[in-house]
Amino acid sequence: MKNIKCDCGHVNPEGTVLCEACGKPIESNQHIDGNEKNKLLNMRYEGSARRSKTYNRTIVDKIWMFFSSVKVGVWLIILTLIASALGTLFPQEMYIPPAVDPAEHYRDEYGIIGQIYYQLGFHNLYSSWWYMLLVASIGVSLVICSIDRVVPLYRALKKQRPKRNSVFIKRQRYFAKTQDVSKQDVEKVVSQLKKKNYKIREEQGHILAEKGRFSRWGPYVNHIGLIIILIAALLRAHPFFFVEDYVWVREGETKIIPQTDQQYYIKNNDFIFEVYDENDERYGEAIEKTGEMIPSNFQTNAEIFKVKGEPLPGQDPELVKVNEGAIQVNKPLKVNDLAIYQSSYQLNEFQSMSFKLHLRDDENEESLGEFTFNMNDPKSEYDLGNGYRVVVDEYYPEFYMDDGVPDSKSKYPKDPAFIFFVYGPDIEEYEVNFLAVGTNLNPTEDNKYKLSITGVDMRDVTGLTLKRDHTLPLFMIGAIIFMIGVVQGMYWYHRRIWIHPKDGELWIAGHTNKNWYGLKRDLEKVLEDTKVEMPQDQQELK
């Protein structure tokens, strides 16, 4: 490593552009920040040695150098943006119908572009390894870029001396020379600076007035916040920190709570759906305007059980109640750290249906026997008394016609249909009754008897979301630190004013990281009523 010794005696690390102590441009390194002779100095990072630009030996250094480039960081962000945008071109795989083959689906729905989209793996873009690697690289770039800049910057600001090299002073943006300035005037300027909360340091008559150095750390504080947010996002991949699942529970049903290793069950005792009262004068007008009912409450009264012992899956577990209560929107019920939220519902699923048998041509439909078909626990045969019985030949919970053949779409009794065989002492073999909701589709017209629905019992279904999220506090902390960094960098300014006696003249230079107008006003105020010349903006003079 080749250190550079400046004329002022300070030893700078290799790659330094402006001497850390006195600010003198180091001849051989001016190309790094693009400084040109006699023009203003580039004050970026105080002209400190960003080491990444100077060392490139071991593999570690090479990787470090790659990620420490802001250019690389910007490209990573651009690539991620482009990839993220492409991912929204067509639906991701999780949003296409579950039963179809994705290879065919993308080709058939979106043509050749869809096929390319699928083959490139864009249908699972956001969980693909290369996309995650891209996002992770942004994080790596953020960390290394920050370290690589904050350390030298800190060094340079700490090592700076009040006595600066004349070249440094002359090549600042705000600069002026004044002949024959009295000592009193200098003292006046210093006391004015103190009044404006500048910190004053002096070295052999050279004065450095500085304030708001704190502002320079804003971007790095901000990056720490971002990194914490990235870490939080990373942890979401792990079920210990983040879990989300869904479960439908019917009224009266006890169901396994997913994501609990079959250790917990939930029972839906009642689902409550309430609407605002249209007769209430407070709501009446609004309800009339929308023309429909407005829900006021979705609620599941639930009980939560823990499994006792370690039964095998499928064995009837012994359950111990551990919690009960009402689940309402935004008011979850907890199982350990798993919160159960109200999130959806289905009203009026069939629970049971009652039937009666009567003579087909009896207008009064006088009952000859009744039975109730319980959808949860149906029997294969019902005895109606007096020698009449009904055999359940087929039961379709969610009835539909599949090419002329009756079938069921699901196991849920949303639209049940039945084929009953009626046996009786005066029936030769049996009579077929085909019942669906609202109809009795008798296949034969010569039935003597008929089954009719006399009543139904309905139940509701509640849809519950399960959520565990230990990453939220981390997101919160990250966001707060992010904001602190933004405020720190935005609302404070790092201003420096140098007073530099030189050959009987008084040189004054000023620098700020932002808000040059504010610095100008500070200077005007400070130099008021003195003979010292107001510095000119040399950038404007050009």
Partner 1 sequence: MAKNKKQKRLIFRSVILLILIGAVVFALVTNLKKEEEVVAVGEQAPPFELKQVNVDGEQTLNLHEDFEGKGVMLNFWATYCDPCKEEMPYMQSLYPKYKEKGVEILAVSVDATELVINNWISKNELTFPIVHDQKGAVMDAYDVFNLPSTFFINPDGTVERKVDGALTLDKLDGYLEEIVPESEK
Positions that interact with partner 1 (CB under 8 A): 1, 3, 51, 58, 60-61, 63-64, 98-99, 127, 129, 132-133, 136, 139-140, 143-144, 147, 231, 234, 237-238, 254-256, 258, 262, 312-315, 375-380, 392-395, 397-398, 402, 407-413
Partnered with residue 243 across adjacent β-strands are 468
218/212 Cα distance (integer angstroms): 11
Nearest to 95 by CA among 141, 126, 116: 126
Closest CB 505 distance from partner 1, rounded Å = 40
Task: Compute the distance between CA of residue 452 and CA of residue 369 in angstroms, rounded to an integer.
Answer: 11
Residue type, 249: V
CA–chain centroid gap for 101, Å, is 30
Decide whether 104 or 274 has the Cβ nearer to partner 1: 104
Nearer to partner 1, 205 or 311 (CB): 311
**Dihedral in degrees, nearest 10, Cα atoms 513, 517, 518, 519:** 60
Residue nearer to partner 1 on the CB measure, 11 or 74: 11
Q: Pick between residue 9 and residue 314 the one whose CB is nearest to partner 1.
A: 314
- Least Å from the CB of residue 146 to partner 1: 11
Compute the CA torsion angle 189, 192, 193, 198 (nearest 10 deg): 160
What's the closest the beta carbon of residue 245 comes to partner 1, in angstroms? 11
Residue placing its CB nearer to partner 1 in the complex, 370 or 393? 393
Measured distance CA(335)–CA(257) in Å, rounded:
9
Q: Which of 247, 339, 262, 257 is nearest to 308 (CA)?
A: 262
* Beta carbons within 8 Å of 531's beta carbon, 6+ residues apart: 178, 180, 181, 182, 185
* Least distance to partner 1, CB of residue 127, Å: 6
Q: Tokens representing 508?
A: 């004054």
Task: Please name which of 348, 357, 534 lies closest in space to residue 459, comparing C-alpha atoms.
Answer: 348
Closest to partner 1 by CB, 418 or 493 = 418
Least spacing, CB of residue 137 vs partner 1, in Å: 8
- Tokens 């060094």, located at residue: 155
Q: How far apart are CA 145 and CA 478, in angstroms?
A: 19
Joined tokens for residue 497: 């004013």
Supply the minimum distance, in Å, between the C-beta of residue 135 and partner 1.
8
Dihedral of CA 40/42/43/49: which sign?
A: negative
Amino acid at 250: R
The least distance separating partner 1 from the CB of residue 407, rounded to whole angstroms, comes to 7
Closest approach of partner 1 to the CB of residue 394, in Å:
6
Taking the least distance from each CB to partner 1, the nearer of 49 and 527 is: 49
Nearer to partner 1, 143 or 272 (CB): 143
Of the candidates 227, 232, 234, 229, the residue with the CA atom closest to the CA atom of residue 139: 227
Closest CA to 165 of 70, 73, 41, 260: 41
- Taking the least distance from each CB to partner 1, the nearer of 212 and 397 is 397
Distance CA 81, CA 125 (A): 12
**Element spanning 227, H or E:** helix 218-235
Q: Which of 129, 282 has the CB closer to partner 1?
A: 129
Least spacing, CB of residue 466 vs partner 1, in Å: 13
Nearest Cα to 393, choosing from 406, 412, 377?
Answer: 406
Q: How far is the CB of 395 from partner 1 (least distance, A)?
A: 6
Task: Give φ, ψ of 444 to 5 degrees.
Answer: -120, 145
Element housing 334 (H / E): strand 333-335
How far is CA 220 from each of CA 78, 146, 223, 482, 496, rounded to the nearest angstrom? 21, 6, 5, 9, 21
Q: Which is nearer to partner 1, 184 or 315 (CB)?
A: 315
Task: Tokens 């140098």: give the residue.
Answer: 498
Q: Which is nearer to partner 1, 1 or 85 (CB)?
A: 1
Least gap, CB of 380 to partner 1 (angstroms) = 6
Q: From the CB of 519, what's the least distance to partner 1, in Å?
A: 36
Please list the residues that pair with 369 across neighbouring strands. Answer: 357
